[in-house]
Structure 1
Amino acid sequence: MILWLKGVKFNVTTVDMARKPEELKDLAPGTNPPFLVYNKELKTDFIKIEEFLEQTLAPPRYPHLSPRNKESFDVGCNLFAKFSAYIKNTQKEANKTFEKSLLKEFKRLDDYLNTPLLDEIDPDSTEELTVSRRLFLDGDQLTLADCSLLPKLHIIKVAAKKYRDFDIPVEFSGVWRYLHNAYAREEFTHTCPEDKEIENTYASVAKQKS
């Protein structure tokens, strides 16, 4: 998704991770994607990969993708961890507790998406903007913050529905506006895994509650 937004031409070669080719094992032994090799230097940390791409694929040839607001990066940082705990829980009596923690993170994200950013507010306007109209986390353009959060949101939406019959509440209007805007962008939809692939991945993770 980052390379697409940068406007870089690239080829995609799919790999069955259950039967890794030998060259992949030699390239990054014991490491699962994502990883990056550049000039024989291996990077396995996703944040480091993002930073490298942002610094290397820089203006004037490539656009900057860093968000202007730090909170755009921070606001969804705990969401996937809460989802993982929720989906892995096997105790029926604890399910509500894990679901409540997940909903709390969704509420935090929703509040941020519905709160106007400073650059949305026109001090000369007579109309008070009470709810943000922006398309994405940091404005109307996709940034690295979206590249990090949107794939996780998609996984949560698909896997939680399949294995916990959980839907993102409709009252989280900011989250749904964000998702609808993201699904309208091919940079996101064409780099997302298929729903079935997500379901298969989480089939062994989502234990039956007892």
Structure 2
Amino acid sequence: MAAVAVDQPIEFLVKGATGKPDILGDRPFCHRVLLTLEEKNIPYKLTLVDLSNKPEWFLKINPEGKVPVMKYEGKWIPESDVITEILEEKFPGPSFKTPPEKASVGSELLPSFVKFLRSKDRSDGTEEALLAELKSLNDHLKDNGPYVAGDKITAADFSLAPKLLHVKVALAHFKNWSIPSDMTYVINYAEILHGRESFAKTRAADEYIIAGWLRHM
């Protein structure tokens, strides 16, 4: 596929790896944006930000100190939701719009994962809550798959792909835990997404995913 014609590559600020800020970091929201760019074949330029030692120039651009941030038409724009909506509007081909009735599928996966990851008590219900979210996603994919909206990959998949990677890598490392083998639709879904060229090109290494979560445990 030919690259989208732009005057110059669009600038993005994304996370540098924990302990190695000159290497691409592990933030799912940044990864989601990068997947969108790769799948749409939009030229882009990355600047990696050390979030553990945020530079003054970055805080002037985005006082909240969060990434990703996109520079578009002379303005710095934060928040992955906003950024991906703009990219879809300004670069509609190919379209990755998710049907509205399916846009919220898996929306509670990351919060439930984080609660379980940080939990110190296996009986506090956080594992069960994560399992419930995974089962809901598994049931949806069984009825609608292989992607969230059917046969065509959409923005919802770009959002879920990095989150499922974090579920897999972080929980295996910190809790010796994995997605139950009977959730075959979720497991196959993750394998399909993580096998895409765009994903391999834009994912952080496992060691940086682990290092990133270690700071928040």
With the length of structure 2 as denominator, give the TM-score of the two structures. Answer: 0.77
Task: Report the residue type matching 2:139 in the other structure.
Answer: D
- Specify the SS of the correspondent of 2:46: coil
- Specify the SS of the correspondent of 1:81: helix
| Superposed counterparts of 1:32-181, under 5 Å | 32-58=66-92, 62-68=93-99, 70-71=101-102, 73-94=103-124, 97-115=125-143, 117=144, 134=146, 136-181=147-192
Greater Rg by CA: 1
CA RMSD of aligned residues (A): 1.8
Segments of structure 1 that go 5 or more residues without pairing to the other structure are 118-131
Which segment drifts farther, 11-20 or 141-150? 11-20
Corresponding residue number in structure 2 for 1:13: 47
How far off its partner does 1:92 sit? 4.7
The whole-number CA distance in structure 1 between the counterparts of 2:139 and 2:54 is 42
Alpha-carbon displacement from aligned partner over 1:9-62 (angstroms, at most 9, x marks no partner): 22333332223344323211232101223234333232111111111112xxx3
Task: Report the residue type matching 1:63 in the other structure.
Answer: P
Which segment drifts farther, 7-16 or 192-201? 7-16
How far off its partner does 1:191 sit? 1.2
Corresponding residue number in structure 1 for 2:17: none
Corresponding residue number in structure 2 for 1:125: none
How far off its partner does 1:3 sit? 0.7
With the length of structure 1 as denominator, give the TM-score of the two structures. Answer: 0.80
The whole-number CA distance in structure 2 between the counterparts of 1:35 and 1:45 is 7
CA contact (8 A) 2:169 2:209 kept: yes
Answer yes or no: is 1:3 the counterpart of 2:34.
no
Tell me the percent identity: 28
Q: Which has the higher strand share?
A: 2
Alpha-carbon displacement from aligned partner over 1:71-120 (angstroms, at most 9, x marks no partner): 2x2120011111111112233542xx1101100000000001111x4xxx
Which segment drifts farther, 148-157 or 4-13? 4-13
How far off its partner does 1:69 sit? 5.8
Corresponding residue number in structure 1 for 2:3: none
Corresponding residue number in structure 2 for 1:198: 209
The whole-number CA distance in structure 2 between the counterparts of 1:195 and 1:142 is 24
CA contact (8 A) 2:67 2:79 kept: no
